[in-house]
Amino acid sequence: IGGLVLCLKTATFCPTLVMTHICVSCQLPITCFILEIILIILFGTLVQYDHETDAKQWHNQSHEDYENDFYFRYPSFQDVHVMIFIGFGFLMTFLQRYGFSSVGFNFLIAAFALQWATLMQGFFHGLHGGKIHIGVESMINADFCTGSVLISFGAVLGKTSPVQLLVMAMFEVTLFAVNEFILLSILGTRDAGGSMTIHTFGAYFGLMVTRVLYRPNLDKSKHRNCSVYHSDLFAMIGTIYLWMFWPSFNSAITAHGDDQHRTAMNTYYSLAACTLSTYGMSALTAHDGKLDMVHIQNAALAGGVAVGTAGEMMLTPFGSMIVGFLAGVISVLGFKYLSPILEDKLKIQDTCGVHNLHGMPGVLGAIVGAVTAALASTDVYGGGLSDVFPDVASGDVTATKQGGIQAASLAVTLGIALLGGLIVGFILKLPIFGAPPDTICFEDSIYWEVSCEIIILYILYFFQSDLQQTHHHTQLSARWIKTT
Amino acid sequence: IGGLVLCLKTATFCPTLVMTHICVSCQLPITCFILEIILIILFGTLVQYDHETDAKQWHNQSHEDYENDFYFRYPSFQDVHVMIFIGFGFLMTFLQRYGFSSVGFNFLIAAFALQWATLMQGFFHGLHGGKIHIGVESMINADFCTGSVLISFGAVLGKTSPVQLLVMAMFEVTLFAVNEFILLSILGTRDAGGSMTIHTFGAYFGLMVTRVLYRPNLDKSKHRNCSVYHSDLFAMIGTIYLWMFWPSFNSAITAHGDDQHRTAMNTYYSLAACTLSTYGMSALTAHDGKLDMVHIQNAALAGGVAVGTAGEMMLTPFGSMIVGFLAGVISVLGFKYLSPILEDKLKIQDTCGVHNLHGMPGVLGAIVGAVTAALASTDVYGGGLSDVFPDVASGDVTATKQGGIQAASLAVTLGIALLGGLIVGFILKLPIFGAPPDTICFEDSIYWEVSCEIIILYILYFFQSDLQQTHHHTQLSARWIKTT
Amino acid sequence: IGGLVLCLKTATFCPTLVMTHICVSCQLPITCFILEIILIILFGTLVQYDHETDAKQWHNQSHEDYENDFYFRYPSFQDVHVMIFIGFGFLMTFLQRYGFSSVGFNFLIAAFALQWATLMQGFFHGLHGGKIHIGVESMINADFCTGSVLISFGAVLGKTSPVQLLVMAMFEVTLFAVNEFILLSILGTRDAGGSMTIHTFGAYFGLMVTRVLYRPNLDKSKHRNCSVYHSDLFAMIGTIYLWMFWPSFNSAITAHGDDQHRTAMNTYYSLAACTLSTYGMSALTAHDGKLDMVHIQNAALAGGVAVGTAGEMMLTPFGSMIVGFLAGVISVLGFKYLSPILEDKLKIQDTCGVHNLHGMPGVLGAIVGAVTAALASTDVYGGGLSDVFPDVASGDVTATKQGGIQAASLAVTLGIALLGGLIVGFILKLPIFGAPPDTICFEDSIYWEVSCEIIILYILYFFQSDLQQTHHHTQLSARWIKTT
């Protein structure tokens, strides 16, 4: 009952909080307007339609309409889009009093990041006469980069202001584009579903940021850092959408034809196997055999992360299921045993457990990708080798060397993520960005107009039942009326 | 606390309400059955498969299967379908006690309107030997027309019976088809995403209806015309789906190939820019820098409305972002400053603020479309000019004249919408349709079997705490038991 | 008030329940691990990429990328996937205290069933050199088979342990594949949307299982077998997704081109007509003309079930609407009048009313399919006859005979479903599977870690109000503190 009392008592802060954060009233609007105006100017000077979206260029060439890349990728793009905005957004609504911020800040930083990512990725992926050319593939890539930022958001969830998040997104998108450029363009790494570029990068970047932003007194908000019945159901909306559309995520930018088809199918079976191992491990490790919603909401998705690199390869459904099975196991173990250690020993306060969902499964995915690449041969891939491993098909590298490149890419990604997170973490520590105090983390009402009726009911209740035992009814009831 | 008290007190009406609306028990079934039987008879006499859905006709011609329009448009159709049923439906669940009606009446009138729209649009778009030919494009158009009806539903939300809504849908669909016929077929207007035909028409029609249905004593239901924490989260499901799939909405019926591709991309960037300006304006205008859920839920979507006409044109991402940015700004300003004026001075009670989300951004979209059309040239569009502006490409009109036609179309749309809304409003005022009394607007329990447990808890609570201060505990508690 | 009191009182069991179900702690993990390991081994030995997902085979042949079946079926597959995981999962969250289990067990058994179905269907649909070949079509078929299992889950919802459900899924998938093989491969039945194979089979199998598992004392959990306001809104998410994507469900595996197009459109109009008849019947039959959420959530979907067989045929929109209209009528009548009889007289406790949504409309769909098949002719279908009725087109059977085959298939399906359900029901009765006791059915907290704050509030409240009337305040309040 102590926890409950604490939980209810803190709700009384609600009215007083209203007063404390005036600063936000100028910071957030200024940040939004400046960022968007910069984006608009840069788009005006740098961005052009590519040859599939430009009316003149498309009609200058001889095509059939159905050859436009739109029809190969747009359904996948929309699935990815749902994962970014509904999937990530609602997955984080599990917190009882942070639903508006989870969905709302997810919405804000994703809308910013996808525009900024268009510019950064366009800049690194090659300019065309000084211009960035965009189409459905660049839109998918922008959403992918945004996904990485949202993973980092999961690590710092509840402890950062929207201005901090926008600043983090700005730096992280830039570093993401640098890392992606090094991997895909310089090293020739294959990573269509982003086990390394998206998940490993986003997770370790976010973990380092949250390490730098360590709050020794976060316990003061601990009672709010938990779920209630309906908030867990909202979170399941996010989980299920991520789970269903992960095949589209991993296959969205693979080569047309058999590659997209195979990638989607490998991911489908990996996720199915992961779900069974997650349920098994959750019941095995949890208190008296009960299932834990935290595991189901997160670990069941690890199978998608872990075939992000190898999904487009000839991993076979058999291989995909083994990888998915292992991903579920290590993810639940991470939630159960590793997360408390990370928090206690390494001072990493990882709100959503992104290390367990994106970090470790991402590393697993990178390793699986390296091994699968090293085993590639014309015997298995036939004429399709040039789609999956163009450098191997052209004879520039051997399959073994490609495997080595894949492994080296993991190290590069970890290095850039950790170093970048360290620097960005210190930038975010600057007091000007208005981080919430330790006592009111995981709380919507400092950033949002929140109707207080339910909280009030709780408070009233608590006080009253308390009073009736202590026979001080009149005074306390009066106090409540005063504070409202 | 006065508001809270009011809020809780009104819940006591619940049991008595049960008795008052017997009339509905015959009206709604009769209306549903008669309408559906008429629809079935008309479909039986008038509607045929088109050449892409008819087994014989499709196989009579020489095609490849992938040339069937189904594969070009069905994914977009399903996205539009989600916007109509989940997007509009859940967007309106923000009201604390009107969630069943928001989703449920949305479902009912949309299911009716899409059938009726198939007939009306088929009739005006050209009969084939006295028959209406249907396929995926007509399904999208029917959903579009339905969207317009749902926009009007947003204006009168909480204040109308389902029978009134069905009657409104019947007339509005008809007038929508007339207006669409005048614009697209007679004037040669371009409006693929429906800034004028869907959004401007739906909004001003609905505003005029709600003006005619003005309730001077709506204050009596004011305490229910607000959101609670979880109802706002449900509404965010609607918002995010509308936001994500708006690129599909605007591109669903544009020409195959680069047109669909370009339209989707323009909308994507317009919405992203709109989101940042919405967050900025919300924090700037709201009380002490906090964000207001009403703005986020609605204004962030204005960017999609505002590129409804120009989205298929060579607006460029740069132009799209400027339009989106402005749409977000005017939409938030509308919610903050214009809506109260409309209600106080013009007696327009606009429950969902459709004037801010669909009305003003729709007009903006029409103007942007007119300007963009006036600037069209073969130099920019190349061979694609005939897809976007067939009349200009054929030399029938100049680009400047096309711009003028677009502007004139806005005037026509406003005229038909306002005049139509006026007439339909007076029809809906007829007492036979069973409008709810002023005291029980925004309330599910007069139309739905609602489990009362939560309300009962509130009532109990209120009375009890009240009692304990007034020392009349026993009597009042007894009264509660009696009324249940 | 008696019901309310009961409802609140039972919540006190919560703490004591924690102790009773230790057994689950070993059963569920062992079941999950063993099943998944068996699946992985069988996939390793039996499953291969088909020629459209295998890199070598696809590139060995001369194709254009857009001819890959992925682009014809993947958007439909994802819609079906959403129906299985979000649609079925959330449809069942209407129970007030069973939301975690509804979504969570749906997730678990679906993830298992789709893997097992791949093997069973692959085995029966024809091996290729001893191997099962898989691609997007087999994924859709696996999801279809899973749907059948989830229908049966609806019948036993709240009364079975997850281990029981996994065992049921294992047997049901096997029998589904046998029935499907007899119908599609031996008899040559047409049933693209599964009125017989999926809906009729799943419903009658589940009804027989729940009959065998009859609980005479289920009344002890009756107070939890009802919805609350927000749980009904969550359920509407499931309903609307099922409704929207049913056109994709019925058209997912029909022939390319006009067939997919026509099937989707027939389903669209059938569902629209069904929605109006459902609202009409609900208001007509329910208490004082109010709408009942149970009808809206379920009966409005019957139109999709009822055109599952005939949807791909030249049913015409007119025919589809008549079928949809009738399906809505019989489904609401079933909920209102037949379900109580089934429960009282036949001892069939059908939690979700699957007999009304899947059973009767499935039989209706089978009959409509038989009649429509019997009327088929080259005159109507032209060259498309070979797509829809290959056996009729090749002259192997007459159209009339095809109609007879369709009717016989219904009888076969009913026979296998009822006999299978009988046997599987007795297997599930074995005490080793840990079925919940009669007193704690429809309750999440025996399988899930559930935060108890809201329940506690209710208990507190009830006791207190109770006390204040009986003047035993101090003792009872103390009792509450002790049990927490």
For chain C, the three-class secondary structure string (H helix, E strand, C coil) is CHHHHHHHHHCCHHHHHHHHCCCHHHHHHHHHHHHHHHHHHHHHHHEEECCCCCHHHHHHCCCCHHHCHHHHHHHHHHHHHHHHHHHHHHHHHHCCCCHHHHHHHHHHHHHHHHHHHHHHHHHHCCCECCEEEECHHHHHHHHHHHHHHHHHHHHHCCCCCHHHHHHHHHHHHHHHHHHHHHHHHHHCCCCCCCHHHHHHHHHHHHHHHHHHCCCCCHHHHHHHCCCCHHHHHHHHHHHHHHHHHHHHHHHCCCCCCHHHHHHHHHHHHHHHHHHHHHHHHHHHHCHHHCECHHHHHHHCCHHHHHCCCHHHCCCHHHHHHHHHHHHHHHHHHHHHHHHHHHHHHCCCCCCCCHHHHHHHHHHHHHHHHHHHHHCCCHHHHHHHHHHHCHHHHCCCCCHHHHHHHHHHHHHHHHHHHHHHHHHHHHHHCCHHHCCCCHHHCCCHHHCECCCCHHHHHHHHHHHHHHHHHHCCHHHHHHHHHHHC
pLDDT in tens, A226-244: 888 889 999 999 999 999 9
Residue B457 has pLDDT above 80, yes or no: no
Give C-chain residues touching B29 at CB under 8 angstroms: 280-281, 283-284, 289
Predicted pLDDT at B237 = 96
Give B-chain residues touching A17 at CB under 8 angstroms: none
The helix, strand and coil proportions of chain B, stated in percent and rounded to the nearest 5, come to: 80, 0, 20
Chain C nearest-CA distance from B377, in A, is 33
Pick A54 or B450 by higher pLDDT.
A54
Helix (H) / strand (E) containing A231: helix A229-251
| Chain mean pLDDT for chain B | 88
In B63-153, where do the E strands start and end? 132-134
Residue type, A183: L
Check residue A337 and report its DSSP letter.
I
CB atoms within 10 A of CB B231: 23
Give A-chain residues touching C473 at CB under 8 angstroms: 468
Asked if C244 is an interface residue toward chain A (Cβ–Cβ < 8 A), one would say no
Tally B–C CB contacts below 8 A. Answer: 237
Helix (H) / strand (E) containing B58: helix B55-60
B257/A103 Cβ within 8 A = no
C136/A265 Cβ within 8 A = yes
Asked if A75 is an interface residue toward chain C (Cβ–Cβ < 8 A), one would say yes
pLDDT in tens, C280-312: 999 999 777 899 999 999 999 999 999 999 999
- pLDDT interval class at C473 (50, 70, 90): very low
Residues B213 and B235: their CA atoms lie apart, in Å, by 25
Chain A nearest-CA distance from B249, in A, is 12
Query: Which residues, numbered 114 to 173 in chain B, qualify as contacts with chain C under a Cβ-Cβ cut-off of 8 Å?
Result: 114-115, 134-136, 139, 162
Angle formed by the axes of helices C229-251 and C69-82, nearest 10°: 160
Residue C196 has pLDDT above 90, yes or no: yes
Chain A nearest-CA distance from B240, in A, is 7
Residue B394 has pLDDT above 90, yes or no: yes
Nearest CA in chain C to A466: C477
Predicted pLDDT at C268 = 97
Residue B454 has pLDDT above 70, yes or no: no
- pLDDT interval class at B223 (50, 70, 90): confident
- Measured between CB atoms, which of B75, B279, B318 is closest to A43? B318
Chains with 3 or more CB pairs under 8 A to chain C: A, B
Q: Which residues pair with A132 in a beta bridge?
A: A47
Half-sphere exposure in the Cβ direction for B357 (13 Å, CA): 28
C388/B449 Cβ within 8 A = no
Residues A199 and A179: their CA atoms lie apart, in Å, by 12
Chains with 3 or more CB pairs under 8 A to chain B: A, C
Does residue C275 contact residue B32 with C-beta atoms inside 8 Å?
Answer: no
Structure tokens at C313: 């045929």
Residues B138 and B136: their CA atoms lie apart, in Å, by 5
Query: Which domains, from first to last, does chain B contain?
Result: 2-62+76-446 (1.10.3430.10), 453-483 (no CATH)
Nearest CA in chain A to C106: A240
Predicted pLDDT at B3 = 42
Nearest CA in chain C to A458: C457
Summarize the confidence of residues B147-154 as an average pLDDT. 97
Percent of the residues in chain C that have a pLDDT greater than 90, as a whole number: 80
> In degrees rounded to 5, what are phi and psi of residue C133?
-100, 130
Summarize the confidence of residues C272-276 as an average pLDDT. 98
Residues A464 and A458: their CA atoms lie apart, in Å, by 10
Give C-chain residues touching A243 at CB under 8 angstroms: 85, 107
Residues A113 and B336: their CA atoms lie apart, in Å, by 27
Does residue B76 contact residue B248 with C-beta atoms inside 8 Å?
Answer: yes
C25/A283 Cβ within 8 A = yes
Check residue A225 and report its DSSP letter.
S
Residues C103 and C100: their CA atoms lie apart, in Å, by 6
Nearest CA in chain A to B229: A451
Dihedral sign from CA coordinates of A269, A271, A272, A277: positive
Residues A65 and A52: their CA atoms lie apart, in Å, by 10
Asked if A240 is an interface residue toward chain B (Cβ–Cβ < 8 A), one would say no
Selected for mutation to probe chain B from A46, A52, A54 (highest B CB count within 10 Å) is A54
C277/B24 Cβ within 8 A = no
Chains with 3 or more CB pairs under 8 A to chain A: B, C
Chain A nearest-CA distance from B388, in A, is 9
Query: Which residues, numbered 311 to 340 in chain C, qualify as contacts with chain A under a Cβ-Cβ cut-off of 8 Å?
Result: none
Residue C8 has pLDDT above 80, yes or no: no
Does residue C386 contact residue C174 with C-beta atoms inside 8 Å?
Answer: no
Per-residue CA distances from C242 to A415, B237, C245 (Å): 46, 16, 5
Predicted pLDDT at B25 = 66
B273/A40 Cβ within 8 A = yes
Residues A377 and A398: their CA atoms lie apart, in Å, by 9
Selected for mutation to probe chain A from B260, B276, B285, B388 (highest A CB count within 10 Å) is B276
Give C-chain residues touching A247 at CB under 8 angstroms: 78
- Measured between CB atoms, which of A18, A48, A85 is closest to B288? A18
Residues B337 and B282: their CA atoms lie apart, in Å, by 12
In A85-215, where do the E strands start and end? 132-134
- Measured between CB atoms, which of C24, C35, C44 is closest to A276? C35
Asked if C234 is an interface residue toward chain A (Cβ–Cβ < 8 A), one would say yes
Give B-chain residues touching C281 at CB under 8 angstroms: 29
Residues A78 and C132: their CA atoms lie apart, in Å, by 31
Summarize the confidence of residues C432-455 as an average pLDDT. 81
B258/A28 Cβ within 8 A = no
Angle formed by the axes of helices C69-82 and A229-251, nearest 10°: 180
Give A-chain residues touching B268 at CB under 8 angstroms: 114, 139
> In degrees rounded to 5, what are phi and psi of residue C291?
-85, 145
Nearest CA in chain C to B162: C279
Helices (H) and strands (E) in chain B, counts: 24, 2
Tally A–B CB contacts below 8 A. Answer: 235
Tally A–C CB contacts below 8 A. Answer: 238
Residue with the two structure tokens 């003309």: C289
Asked if C456 is an interface residue toward chain B (Cβ–Cβ < 8 A), one would say no
Check residue A134 and report its DSSP letter.
E
Selected for mutation to probe chain C from A78, A91, A227, A229 (highest C CB count within 10 Å) is A229
Residues A311 and A249: their CA atoms lie apart, in Å, by 11
Asked if A260 is an interface residue toward chain C (Cβ–Cβ < 8 A), one would say yes
Nearest CA in chain A to C80: A244
Nearest to C273 by CA among C320, C311, C307, C308: C320
Does residue C65 contact residue A256 with C-beta atoms inside 8 Å?
Answer: yes
Predicted pLDDT at B125 = 85
* Cβ-proximal residues to A211 (8 Å cutoff; 6+ apart), any chain: A346, A347, A348, A421, A425
What ipTM was estimated for this complex? 0.90
Residues of chain A with pLDDT under 70: 1-25, 451-484
Chain A nearest-CA distance from B387, in A, is 9
Summarize the confidence of residues B198-209 as an average pLDDT. 98
Predicted pLDDT at C465 = 40
A81/B290 Cβ within 8 A = no
Residues B115 and A4: their CA atoms lie apart, in Å, by 53
Residue B18 has pLDDT above 90, yes or no: no
Does residue B390 contact residue B416 with C-beta atoms inside 8 Å?
Answer: no
Structure tokens at A23: 């600063």
Residues A104 and B237: their CA atoms lie apart, in Å, by 11
Residue type, B308: G
Predicted pLDDT at C25 = 66
Query: Which residues, numbered 3 to 22 in chain B, qualify as contacts with chain A under a Cβ-Cβ cut-off of 8 Å?
Result: 4, 7
Check residue B94 and report its DSSP letter.
G
A108/B275 Cβ within 8 A = yes
Give B-chain residues touching A19 at CB under 8 angstroms: 288
Residues A349 and A211: their CA atoms lie apart, in Å, by 7
| Chain mean pLDDT for chain C | 88
- pLDDT interval class at B22 (50, 70, 90): very low
Residues A274 and A305: their CA atoms lie apart, in Å, by 11
| Chain mean pLDDT for chain A | 88
Residues A325 and A300: their CA atoms lie apart, in Å, by 10
A321/C115 Cβ within 8 A = yes
Percent of the residues in chain B that have a pLDDT greater than 70, as a whole number: 88
Give B-chain residues touching A136 at CB under 8 angstroms: 261, 264-265
In B82-131, where do the E strands start and end? none
Percent of the residues in chain B that have a pLDDT greater than 90, as a whole number: 80
Residue B470 has pLDDT above 90, yes or no: no
Question: Coil, strand, or helix at residue B193?
Answer: coil
Residue B475 has pLDDT above 50, yes or no: no
Predicted pLDDT at A395 = 93
Asked if B383 is an interface residue toward chain A (Cβ–Cβ < 8 A), one would say yes
Residue type, B346: L
Pick A321 or B430 by higher pLDDT.
A321
A39/B316 Cβ within 8 A = no
Residue B465 has pLDDT above 50, yes or no: no
Which long-range contacts link C56-61 to residues 24+ away (Cβ below 8 Å)?
Answer: C56/A380, C56/A381, C56/A382, C56/A383, C56/A384, C57/A382, C58/A257, C58/A258, C58/A384, C59/A258, C59/A382, C59/A383, C59/A384, C60/A382, C60/A383
